[in-house]
A and B are shown apart, each in its own frame.
Chain A
Amino acid sequence: MSDEKQFCSFYLGDQFFGVEVMKVQEILRYHEVTPVPLASNEMSGLIDLRGQIIPAINMRIKLGMSDFPEDKQPMIIVLQHQEGAFGLLIDSIGEVLQVSAGSLECPPDTVDSLTRDLVAGVHKLDGKLMLALDHEKLANFTWAQAA
């Protein structure tokens, strides 16, 4: 295909992120999340998706931000993966963006290391930057708390 990729974009706080559309299984309004005792803080818990149990990652905590406010219900992006689908809890969905490989840059050093580990690249768009997240790195989550 051409050197263009489609990203499903979303917001976390005032930052703008994207994941490859091809990896997205679906997008949900907030679903009830069952917490898992003893799991690390970045794991919100488990979601019942039409009978399928999938893990849900709290993307705010994962990227070192403050947790979702009580009164606001996060949306959930469900990503596919060969080892099982998983969900990302996010603030809100943006648009599907067509991005050319040419606009991709390495993340600057000013981006903190937590974020940088998950970011495949930064795309310059009109007036803002989109941090493209690495699907494989996201899929590499673990329930256990860091030792």
Chain B
Amino acid sequence: MNSTLLLEEVEKARLEKAELEGAKVPAEVIDFVQEKSLAATIHSELATPDKNKETQPALIIGQGGQRFAIPQANLLEVVRLDKEDETKTSLEWIQGAPVYRLRGHLLPVVSLNKVLQIDEDNAAPQEKLAVLEADHRQFGLLVDEIINTEEIPAKLSCHSLQTLQVYSGATILKDKKMALVIDIAGLANHAQVTIQEDDPSREKTATSSRAEEENVERQACLIVRTGDNRRLAIPLAKVARLEEFNLSSIEKSGTQDVVQYRDEIMPLIYLSNQDSVKDSSTEQKTAFPTVVCGRNEQSLGLVVEQILDIVEDCPVAKESPEGQNVLDTIVIQNQVTDVVDVDHLLGERVSTSNVKLLHAPSTER
């Protein structure tokens, strides 16, 4: 732009300001300036080339009244959480952190409004979860609204935004609103999303298992500690929910301890070789973690001392025919762990809460 045109632009702005302030400006001057700026506007609209026809599909989400775009390349699925309906899964909590179970796989969950520090005081329950993946890490993102999908340019505007690791750029949507495009890997880093802490023993399990991957079936297991300090593994596929109950909510039905749980009476089983959860070191605690197994007809609560971990690559235990409620003993994270035979516990009509977990005589330690 040459300086004459620029001066006109400046003059125009000044004239507009003068006009508003009631000063008199000659009409011809106004016309001349307006004509020039109109010409400049038309010229720039036509001149903007639509070179980059290449687009990428993106999911448009809303948070705090703003729009954000998530490249569909990172999107695995979208879930609607429903706290009311039991058949739909919802958020669960492990040691204060929200997680979501996706087909046996526990995902850490992050709230978009907390990560971006928008509207943090908004107490509206968040029910929409986008399951995302970047750098082989999967996690769930809680958002206010899922708006629609749209094709956005493959080459984004405003690369300077990348100094904030959560963004890869910005784009203007079809409805003329501006959307910030989220860099999923950056978001995961920023939110410090880790489902597993750095644990050398875990890494060893992962690498050694890869060698045997073709031969041995793998499954995810929940690792728990019992009142008598045993480590047990419960196949995650059998786990419906993780709950915490108060000692005060235990009631008796015959010789069995039960709790009232979601409109049913759920029997409890104490996974320790002691006689009662009340005898063990849980005297100090008033709440105890319970692994709820089974679906539909009857749930079963397996009471433990502490939920330790989730391990992805557990070898599937073979059934040990004479063992009592224990499938097998395997080594997980370099520690001896018994795998609980949940099917057996569910199948048998258990009439007492004090079930012994024993090995078959031949494999007894």
Interface residues of A (CB under 8 A from B): 6, 8, 21-22, 24-27, 29, 34-39, 46, 48, 50-55, 75, 83-84, 92-93, 95-96, 141-144
The reply to whether B66 and A27 form a contact with Cβ atoms under 8 Å apart is no
Write out the residue numbers on chain B whose beta carbons fall within 8 Å of the beta carbon of A93.
Answer: 10, 13-14, 17
Contact residues of B between 1 and 46, Cβ < 8 Å to A: 1, 3, 6-7, 9-14, 16-17, 40-41, 44-45
The reply to whether B178 and A46 form a contact with Cβ atoms under 8 Å apart is yes
What is the 8 Å Cβ interface bit string for chain B, positions 109-123, against chain A (1 contact, 0 not)?
Answer: 000000011100000
Write out the residue numbers on chain A whose beta carbons fall within 8 Å of the beta carbon of B1.
Answer: 25
5 A–B pairs (Cβ distance < 8 Å), ordered by A: A26-B9, A36-B180, A48-B178, A53-B178, A93-B17
Given known A27-B10, A36-B164, contact A22–B3 (CB-CB < 8 A): yes
Write out the residue numbers on chain A whose beta carbons fall within 8 Å of the beta carbon of B64.
Answer: 37
> Is B172's beta carbon under 8 Å from chain A?
yes
Given known A38-B117, A39-B164, A55-B158, contact A95–B172 (CB-CB < 8 A): no
Q: Bound complex: CA of A93 vs CA of B9, how far in Å? A: 11
Given known A37-B118, A50-B41, contact A144–B48 (CB-CB < 8 A): no
Write out the residue numbers on chain A whose beta carbons fall within 8 Å of the beta carbon of B45.
Answer: 50-51
Q: Bound complex: CA of A53 vs CA of B172, how far in Å? A: 8
The reply to whether B161 and A36 form a contact with Cβ atoms under 8 Å apart is yes
Q: Bound complex: CA of A96 vs CA of B3, how far in Å? A: 11
Write out the residue numbers on chain B whose beta carbons fall within 8 Å of the beta carbon of A36.
Answer: 161, 164, 167, 180
A45 nearest CB across to chain B (Å):
9
Q: Bound complex: CA of A96 vs CA of B12, how far in Å? A: 12
A113 nearest CB across to chain B (Å):
23
Number of A-B contacts (CB under 8 A): 90
Please name 7 further chain A to chain B contacts, defined as beta carbons within 8 Å, in addition to the given A37-B180, A93-B14, sorted by A numbering.
Answer: A6-B7, A8-B10, A34-B66, A37-B64, A38-B116, A51-B48, A52-B157
The reply to whether A143 and B160 form a contact with Cβ atoms under 8 Å apart is yes
> Is B170's beta carbon under 8 Å from chain A?
yes
Smallest Cβ-Cβ distance to A6: which chain B residue: B3
> Is B163's beta carbon under 8 Å from chain A?
yes
> Is B166's beta carbon under 8 Å from chain A?
yes
> Is B176's beta carbon under 8 Å from chain A?
yes
Contact residues of B between 153 and 191, Cβ < 8 Å to A: 157-158, 160-161, 163-164, 166-167, 170-172, 176, 178, 180
Write out the residue numbers on chain B whose beta carbons fall within 8 Å of the beta carbon of A51.
Answer: 45, 48, 172
Given known A21-B3, A46-B158, contact A142–B163 (CB-CB < 8 A): yes
Write out the residue numbers on chain A whose beta carbons fall within 8 Å of the beta carbon of B118.
Answer: 37
Most chain B CB atoms below 10 A, which of A22, A36, A48, A84: A36
Smallest Cβ-Cβ distance to B171: which chain A residue: A53
Smallest Cβ-Cβ distance to A24: which chain B residue: B6
Write out the residue numbers on chain B whose beta carbons fall within 8 Å of the beta carbon of A37.
Answer: 64, 66, 116-118, 180
The reply to whether B66 and A35 form a contact with Cβ atoms under 8 Å apart is yes
Write out the residue numbers on chain A whose beta carbons fall within 8 Å of the beta carbon of B158.
Answer: 46, 53-55, 84
Q: Which of B9, B13, B40, B157 contacts A75 (CB 8 A)?
A: B13
Given known A21-B3, A36-B180, A51-B48, contact A143–B161 (CB-CB < 8 A): yes
A44 nearest CB across to chain B (Å):
13
Q: Bound complex: CA of A107 vs CA of B243, how far in Å? A: 67
Write out the residue numbers on chain B whose beta carbons fall within 8 Å of the beta carbon of A21.
Answer: 3, 6-7, 10
Write out the residue numbers on chain A whose beta carbons fall within 8 Å of the beta carbon of B172.
Answer: 48, 51, 53
The reply to whether A27 and B167 form a contact with Cβ atoms under 8 Å apart is no
The reply to whether B6 and A53 form a contact with Cβ atoms under 8 Å apart is no
The reply to whether B160 and A96 form a contact with Cβ atoms under 8 Å apart is no
Write out the residue numbers on chain B whose beta carbons fall within 8 Å of the beta carbon of A38.
Answer: 116-117, 164, 166
